[in-house]
Every structure is written in structure tokens, then in C-alpha cells.
Structure 1
Amino acid sequence: MIGNLVPINGARMSPWIRAIAFAGLFAGAAQAATTPDDTFRAIYTKEWAWRNGQAGILTSGEAQPGDGRLDTVDAANQARRLAYWNDVLAQLDGIDTKHLSAKARVDYAVYRAQIGNLAASQRFEQWQMPFNSDSAFWSDIGYVLHGDDLRTREDYRHYVDRLHQIPAYMDQEIANMRLGLARGFTVPRAVLDGRDVSIAAVAALKNPEDSALYKPFKTMPNNLPASDADALRKEAREAIADGVIPAYGRLLTFFRNEYLPKARTTLAAESLPDGKAYYRQQIREYTTLDLSPDEIHAIGLREVDRIHQAMLETMKETGFKGDFPAFLAFLRKDPQFYAKTPDELLMRTAWVAKQVDAKLGKYFGLLPRQRFAIEPVPADIAPYYTSGRGGADVYLVNTYDLPSRPLFNMPALTLHESMPGHALQLALSAEQRGLPGFRRDGYISAYGEGWALYSEYLGNEMGIYHTPYERFGYLTYQMWRACRLVVDTGIHHLGWTRQQAIDYLTRNTALSDREIANEVDRYISWPGQALSYELGYLKIRELRERAERQLGEKFDLRAFHDTVLALGSVPLPVLEQHVDAWIASRK
């Protein structure tokens, strides 16, 4: 306390001098307390707050928070982002990581890679190609606006303000795509047919209340005054009718009259401007590994051969008398393997999920509080959407074109997309205390998709695959991911055609024709992302086998799973270091 300060050098000080001296001591103490951890924390805290105020930022193909903003994606702002992240990288490179604490070193490894990927995306001007055959800015708007989270009058006011931003946002994205057209940086023409259906669905609306963006206003909180609710509904209807619908109309005209005719006729990422460097960067971002396309292609060929032998053995278990191509044709056509109604597919999926629920406690020590729903994929995107996609709160199942959704694949798909795959991993990450926002809300594909694919493998030990057909479904999903290594590098590095890729998947997997076509289009328009699954899975399997070999009877599968999930989404080299440290501690 100030009143009890000891006089310096035994001299008595006036209160004014004493206060100055104390302030100096206090400042010196604060300066002395600044550590490398503090410096690093200050950098990421400032950047994360800034990033949350930006619009349309993507990393690893996943939307970042962005505060729901939809009005700052123009070229000038994109240039400012590159300058900002380059400056952050320079600050990070000034930190001596040897002096960081163990926890901060993990944070640094995740964050340095994240900022490096964001800066690289700006450097290659990825923002000029703001969609692919799997997802698009115009269909992601509902997700970005967080319409399901509205609770208060302020929430609804904020949401209406964002609705007013959509026309300017659309116009900026059109301008960005024009820049991409001018330099040949576009989605390939070969995968664009039908991609305008979701734009046209909005552009053709006559009643704004039919828009999905109006849905939050159909069930507003009872404690909101009726006059306020009516006023907000009225403004939302006007914003959609006068702004949103015409903006989608302009986008549709641009897409059909300019983008389609001028989109590039090549497929390979390496054929883009500075394409070889661009594809290598995509590989680094999605795999977190420094592997060449040729190395990845070779790994894929090896895994395809290994899994094919297991598929042949499982085929024999079914009693089928024909050869492998005939068996695949049988699986694709026989009605016994397909649901007759969307509800049947959803219920069969839910039955798998409940079987998994009963087994989780045996394989995991820590389980999340979060529960997930099972819902059909929205109709406007279902024709070209993947068979299923899961998160912490919802598992979307595609009920469109039921003859393309074999039931024998549903156990593997459900393990991947719900528990113990994405739903478990993402929920545990969100519930972890003490993680910085950039880690809690970030997603690293090699880790997340590798874990989900490992979850399919775990279904064998959990007893989820009951018939040879379900085991074959598991193997065809394993084969599908191994084929991705071959197909992605084949298309983007070796010059494969779309038909070559389709034929390769048709020969090697029991996926339906629709699934194969949609998947190949996804790989063509989203270079590198498909590589993350198998490479992440192989690393987790490698780490488990290492732990089992080195620990012997001391190996605890539940503890191993908890260890893998403990860090949240991290690069594979960080995960490997973490598991190695765990193995050493168990010895």
C-alpha cells in the first residue's frame, strides 16, 4: 500500500515525489512481467477481435465467425486483409518460441499455421472464386446471419440490419468474380451446370415470407411487445422484397450470362495462375503436411490396393457368386438396399445413432453435454449436396434421390458425421475451457476429417456393422477416401479428365452414380480438401499402433481417445507430439 512505502535510501519523500516513485516502480514491475506468452497473447487477441468484425473470411473451407457482416468483401478490403495478416506473421516470427510455455507453444503452432493459410489465401486471391460445387456464399448467408440464435429485440434488430447489407454484399461478390474471370481464376465450367438452382429459387420468390431468411420472424419470442414484433416483421419483409430478392436476381443474371460462358475449360488447380504453388499451398492447408502431389498419389494407390483385398474377402462372406464389378452393380441396383421413403432413411439413420450411444462410455472417458439432431438436407441444395454432413448440433442426411443412398453405407456415414465423429469432436472442442477463440472456433480439416474417418474404423470394434453388406459399406467408404488421394492429385497434378475420375471411383467403390458425380465435381472445384480425410486417418491409426506397441498392457483405449481429442483441432505434427508425450508419461 502507498502509505507503507519504505523511504528510498532512507530519505523521507513528499507525497508527490512518493507517488511518482511508486508509479515508476509499478510500471517497471509491469514491464518486467511481460513474457513471450503475454506478447503472443496480445497479438492473437487483437487479431481475433479484428477478424470477428470482417465479412466472408474462410479458412480450411469453413466460415469464420465474422459477426454476421455482409458488406466488406470488396477488392480494396481484401488487399487490407493481406497487409494485416502479413504484419501479424511478421510479429509472430519475432517471438522466440523456445521461451513460450508448453500450452502457448501448442497455441502458437495452431495460430501460426492458421494465419499463414489466411494470408496465402489472400495472396492467391482466393476471394475471386467465392464458391465451389459443394458450397457457395449465396447459400451460406443463412448460416452466417445466425438466424436460429435470435432471442431479444436487439438480436432481431441486428438481423434486420444484416438483411439490408445483402444487396451490397452480392454486388461486391459479383465484382470479385469478374476479377477472377479476367485472369482465368474461376470454378471450372465442367462443374457449373445446375449450380444456379439455389440462386434461382430465391430470385423467383413472389412472397418474401417464403424466403428462408424470413423464418426467424415466424416464431418470435412471446415476451417481445407485439408492436415491436410487427414492426420488425414489416421491415424484414421489405428488406427481403426490395433488396434481397432483386440482389439474387442480379446474381442469377451474372451467373448465367457472364460466369458460365467465360468460366475456364481446364480442371487442374495447377492450370490456374501460379497454379503449382497454389496447389501445394492447398495441400499444406488441408493436410498440415509437407507432401508432394506425387507422394500423395503413391500413398493413395497403396491404400486402394490394400482395401480392395479386404473388399474381395467381404464380398465372399455375402455368398455372391459373380466377380467384383458384378457385385458393385448388384449393390447399386437391388431394391433391398434402399429406403422407400425419406422417413425410412432418417429412421434407419437414427437407429444406428442410438446403437452408438449405448457404446460410447466404453470407448471414451469424457463425453460432451451437447446433443445433435438428425435432419434432412434442405431441398434447394440437396441435388448436388453430399450424402450427409455433421456438426456439433445437427447431422444432415440427404433424402433426395433415395436410389442413390444405399442403406448399407448408413452406419459408416453416421459414425463419421455424428457420434463418435464430428458431433463428438466438435462438441468437446466447444466445451473446453481455456482455449483461445481461434482454436475453439477454428477447424483443421486433416484433424477433424481424419478423426471422423477413424470413427468409421472404430465402428468395427463397437459392433456397429452387423452384416457383411454393412461391413462392405464401411470398406467402400474407406476405399472412397483412399481413392480421393489418387483422384485429387490425378485431376490437379496429373491432368486427369472428369470422366477418368468418375470411372476410377465407379470401378473401386459401391457409391451410387449420383454420389460419384457430385463427389468428383467437389474435388475438381475444391482442390486439396479431399486429401485431408485419409491422411489424417492414417496418422491417427499410426499413433494408436505406436501407443499399443510401446505401452503393451498399459495401453488404455479410452485414455488414448481422450488424449487425441483433448487439444481440439490441431495440425497433425502437433497431435503427434502430444500423443508421443502421453505415451512417455504412461511408461
Structure 2
Amino acid sequence: MSNTNWKMRSLIGSLGFAVLALPALAAEPAWVKKSNENAKLLLNVVAKYSPEGASSLGVDGFDEQITDMSRDQFEATNKDTRAVVAELNKRLKGETDAKVRQDLEILVKAAEDQMRTAALTRKYLLPFTDVNQLLFGVLRQTLDPRIPKERQQTIVARLEKYAGMTKGYRPITVLAGERLQERLKANPKLLGPYKGEVEQALNDGPALVKGMRELLAKSEVKGWEPAFAALEKQLAAYEKDVRAQILPRARADHRLPAELYADNLRQFGVDIPPQELVAKALTSFAEIRNQMNITAGLIARERKLQDADYRAVIRELKKQQIPVEQVMPLYAERLNQIEAAVRQQGIVSLPSRKAVIRLATAAENAQQPAPHMSPPRLIGNTGEYGEFVLTTGMPPDASGKALVFDDFTHQAGSWTLTAHEARPGHELQFAKMLETGVSTARAVFAFNSVNVEGWALYAEAEMQPYEPLDGQLFALQARLQRAARAFLDPMVNLGEITPEGVKSFLMEEVGLSEGMATQEMQRYIFRAPGQATSYFYGYQRLMETRQAAEVALRRNFKRRAFNDFVLAQGLVPPALLRKAVMQEFVPSQQ
């Protein structure tokens, strides 16, 4: 999603991840219960080394704990993970249930993938901790209105530990600096973070600190003020350390070592070489652009516009910006219209309750500039669902210049974004997991960005024929953007185009605002290199699977049945989904 989580690949050993597990709202089949017992082994490792992550899942018992940054945890994490892999392989040998066996294989692969990623990161990169981002993420998760009030109060204990006010703890800012110096001493040749990433972190810092204070002030949490006051001073000091110690070591070249970038693609679910991905995406870009010119021509004729080129028509339609106070009513109206079409056309089964859409805060804009789905906690869930968060721009840069988006706050652009982030896209995707129930292995450890984003683009395509012409043009623009991502991301990371070239291409050929093009470029080069390719590739793989089912079933193919089946599988990668469709769905329809 624009993005349910850019850093989902860091399942173990990272502070800020948000993952999914078996929801409490659905009945638990016997095989799922058995599978989840196996998954607990790996979840326990996650909880041990990232208790904040366990809490974000809804797991009890970790709300007051924080990640231990007082010492290097690499070897300890590897040791525990290898022990879990050995036990899972032992269980695999004696397991007879096909689905449980498949889940065991998923768990083993996830653990081995994570160890490989951690080893590569350690081999090449100097650790840089953006403490502002880290703490804002924890506060945002803990103080989410969907979280019970008693759990929100536990944030005080964490703040006191982060600030070093609790006996046995030292400030997280000090520990982050120590871990950096420790790795630098061990290997002076490690690559520093990209200079643009450090500069953006410094620019975002004030907005994130302000956002943390606002979250705490608006909550009903008591007694947070002393710890947060101490943290504010420590964060200010840490900012000076970053400028003095890290910025001079930052690298000017944004490119990752080839081995690391290839691993990124693999973790996000792209299982073909970058060059093959680029070739597919370039061809698709040209085909979509042709469709856009046809649609733009129809709009130009209808509205008597002088220039029928898709770029000119997009610029003209974007002028229909709406006031901020009317944005949410517009998106609520779009959602109602889309849901009516879904029901009328029999596209997919919808819940009777309403989806939630809200505007992002300034701090959320800084943390994650693109519109995105904020997923619900899926362990211990008592009826909470995901939220579509609509961002409005980039935070000010060092010069004070703020880049506001005009990409979503106009009439035509609201159609496909609603379909992607709300229904029948991500909001429905997460809701179905709550309502049907999937195993932890399939929801957490089989997750990859290709599958989750593939469904959202597929949802856009399902809705496009039922939208007005201007809505269809922006649906095609969104697909054009995803094709562009799939060649620009590899090209900029392979040194075949500059970051400035990426930005200008997105503004001139795709029609994005400067703010949107800037955050896109940043996504490719330091926010999440490789992740942006997953949208295009996931959509292609899901469409391949659907077409295979249609060829097998012909007149017996039923769209709603297919779409409901796909959602019921959880966040599994394309190969597993294709297997389930051909071995389970197709025979059931014949």
C-alpha cells in the first residue's frame, strides 16, 4: 500500500515493524491452531528482540518493555533464530497435514531470509538510528485510539526507559551512538548512510517531536511529562551528534551494494532479475500511456479542451482542487459510490460496516509521506479495523520550503486512491483476514509486498470500468506510476538514471506534483529501495493467476467467488496463491 509497511522485510531485530497475525475475530480451524503453535517459536524471537513490535501486534506481556540497545544483539539473535529453525525442521519431518507442512516451510524460509538480510546489512552498512522516527512510531502505535486505554498508559514506562530514568537503563540516544561507534571501530570501511537520508531525518525531526507531544497531550495518559521533557533534551543533543558524527560519514552515492539491493527485491517478493523487471515495466508503461491518450482525448472533446495530450488534461483536471474541509466528505462520497458499484456488479463481498478514512497529521506526513493504510492490531483484536490515512504533503526542507501534494485533493483523483487504500483494496484485504482467519505463518511470515500491493492495484483495475472518464484517466495514471516505479527504482539503484532524473521524469511524464515526485524518489533511494517495484510485479502476478483460472473455468468463472477466495488466503506470495487457486478454487467451481 502506499504502504502497509515499507520495512516489513525486517521481521526480526528491528524496532519499528508492524506485522500481522491470526485475528481473534475468526474461528480457528484445527490445522490453523496447530500451525500457530509452530509460529509461536519464531514470534517469541521477535518479541525477545523487539518487544515494541510484539506490542504493536497486540501480544500481551510486552507493553512496558523496550528493545535492548545496551549491547550488540546480532550474534544472540542469530543463535536463537538458528535454534528455532532446527526445531521447525524437526517438526516438519514428522508432520502429515499438508497445510501445516506448508506453513512450517514458510516459517523456516522467513527465518533464513531474515538471517541473510541481517548478515548482509552488517557486512556493508554502518548502523544509523533515526531515533525521532523510531520513537514517533512507538508512540503512534501505542496511542492509537483503537488501542484499549489501559494499554496506552504503559507508554509512560517505555518513555522513562528510553530517557534512562528507570534504574538499569540509559538514554536510547546515547546507546544508539555507542552502537554506531562500536561497529565503526570493528570495521572502519562500513558504508555510512546516504547523505540525503540523514538530511531528511534532520529536517523531519522537529515535526516528529512536535507530533509526539501532540499525541501525548491529546491522549488520556497520565504522568508522561517528565520523561518526555527529558527525551526532548536528549533528542536535541542527539541531533547535534548526528550533524557532527554521522553527517560527515554519510555517503554521497545513494546506491546500495548490488548484493544488498538484490536482497531487498527478494524480500519484497520480486523473484526476477532487475533487468527483466525493467524490460517488462518499460513495455507496460508505453501501453498504458497509449490508453491514457485515448481517454484524455475523450475528456478533451467532452470538455472542449484545446490540448488533448494526457499530460495537459491531467494538469487541467488537477486545477479542480477542493478546500481542505471538503476533502473528507468527498472521499466518503467516493467510497459510497464505489461500494454501490461493487455490490451492483458482484465484484467482491463487502462488510456492512463503514470503512474509516482520515487526514494525516503533520507528523504522519513526515513519517510516511504517501497515503497509506494503517492496519489494525490482529492479535487480541476486539473489533478494530484498518484506517485509510490521507497525507497532504512533505514536511518543510532545510530552507523552509514545504511541498504540498495536489495529486489526491481534486475530484477525479479521489476515485482510484479510494479503491486502492479503502475498498475493495487494502481496508477490505485486512478486514477479510479478521473475518475469515488465516494462520500466523501465512499472515506474518509469508507476507511480501508483492502480494499485498498486487491486490490493491488489482482492486483499482476492477473498479476502473465503473468510474467516470476523468476517474478512469487517473486510474490509468496510477497504473502508469507503478510501471514507472518498476523501471526507475532498479535504474536509479543500478546507476542508469540520477535521482534528479527520476524526479523530473515523474513530474513531466507521469504528471505527479513536485511533493509526490520527491517522496517517490526518496522511496527508491533511501526510504525503501526496491519496495516500489512490488506494485507492478504483484499486479502482474495476480492477473496471471486470474487469467489462468478463467482459462480453466471459462463460463464457470465467477468474479466475486474468485475475489473472495483470493482475500481469504491472507497475505501469501504469488506462487502459493497460484497453487491454491488452481488446486482448490478451480476444482470447487467445476
Q: TM-score range by the shorter chain?
A: 0.7 to 0.9
- Say which of 133, 136, 151 aligns to 2:133: 136
Residues 335 and 506 of structure 1: CA distance in aligned 2, closer, same or farther (over 3 Å): closer
Check conservation: 1:164, 1:239, Cα contact below 8 A.
Answer: yes
Distance (whole Å) between structure 2 residues aligned to residue 578 and residue 419 of structure 1: 24
Distance (whole Å) between structure 2 residues aligned to residue 417 and residue 579 of structure 1: 24
Distance (whole Å) between structure 2 residues aligned to residue 170 and residue 145 of structure 1: 20
Which position in structure 1 is the counterpart of 2:47?
52
Tell me the SS of whatever aligns to 1:259.
helix
Tell me the SS of whatever aligns to 1:125.
helix
1:578 Cα offset (Å): 0.6
Which position in structure 1 is the counterpart of 2:194?
188
Which position in structure 2 is the counterpart of 1:540?
542
Which AA in structure 2 matches 1:79? E
Which position in structure 2 is the counterpart of 1:459?
463
- Say which of 219, 226, 231 aligns to 1:238: 226
1:389 aligns with 2:393: no
1:169-318 to 2 correspondences below 5 Å: 169-177=172-180, 182-201=188-207, 210-217=213-220, 233=222, 235-242=223-230, 244-269=231-256, 275-287=257-269, 289-318=270-299
Residues 87 and 441 of structure 1: CA distance in aligned 2, closer, same or farther (over 3 Å): closer
1:478 Cα offset (Å): 0.1
Check conservation: 2:129, 2:176, Cα contact below 8 A.
Answer: no
Tell me the SS of whatever aligns to 1:419.
coil
1:304 Cα offset (Å): 0.9
- Say which of 116, 119, 126 aligns to 2:115: 119
Which digits, 9 at most, give the CA deviation of each residue in 1:8-28, with x for residues without a partner?
Answer: xxxxxxxxxxxxxxxxxxxxx
Which digits, 9 at most, give the CA deviation of each residue in 1:110-147, with x for residues without a partner?
Answer: 323322332223212379556799x9324312234345
Which position in structure 1 is the counterpart of 2:341?
359
- CA RMSD across the alignment: 3.5
1:387 Cα offset (Å): 4.0
Tell me the SS of whatever aligns to 1:357.
helix
1:522 Cα offset (Å): 1.0
Which AA in structure 2 matches 1:396? V
Which digits, 9 at most, give the CA deviation of each residue in 1:312-363, with x for residues without a partner?
Answer: 2112112244364xx4255336663322x21222222221111122234454
Tell me the SS of whatever aligns to 2:413.
helix
Tell me the SS of whatever aligns to 1:268.
coil
Flag the structure with higher helix content: 1
Unaligned runs of 5+ in 1: 1-35, 221-232, 270-274
Tell me the SS of whatever aligns to 1:195.
helix
* Percent sequence identity over aligned pairs: 19
Which digits, 9 at most, give the CA deviation of each residue in 1:397-437, with x for residues without a partner?
Answer: 12342545452222111111111111000111133336237
TM-score by length of structure 2 reads: 0.78
Which position in structure 2 is the counterpart of 1:229?
none
Which position in structure 1 is the counterpart of 2:396?
none
Which AA in structure 2 matches 1:580? M
Which position in structure 1 is the counterpart of 2:11?
none
Unaligned runs of 5+ in 2: 1-30, 164-170, 375-384, 394-403
Residues 104 and 290 of structure 1: CA distance in aligned 2, closer, same or farther (over 3 Å): same
Matched residues, number: 518
1:377 aligns with 2:372: no
Which AA in structure 2 matches 1:543? T
Distance (whole Å) between structure 1 residues aligned to residue 225 and residue 201 of structure 2: 26
Tell me the SS of whatever aligns to 1:521.
helix
Which digits, 9 at most, give the CA deviation of each residue in 1:13-48, with x for residues without a partner?
Answer: xxxxxxxxxxxxxxxxxxxxxxx9999765422221
1:491 aligns with 2:497: no
1:399 aligns with 2:402: no
Larger of the two Rg values belongs to structure = 1
Which AA in structure 1 matches 2:362? A
Distance (whole Å) between structure 2 residues aligned to residue 375 and residue 333 of structure 1: 27
Tell me the SS of whatever aligns to 1:322.
coil
Which AA in structure 2 matches 1:322? D
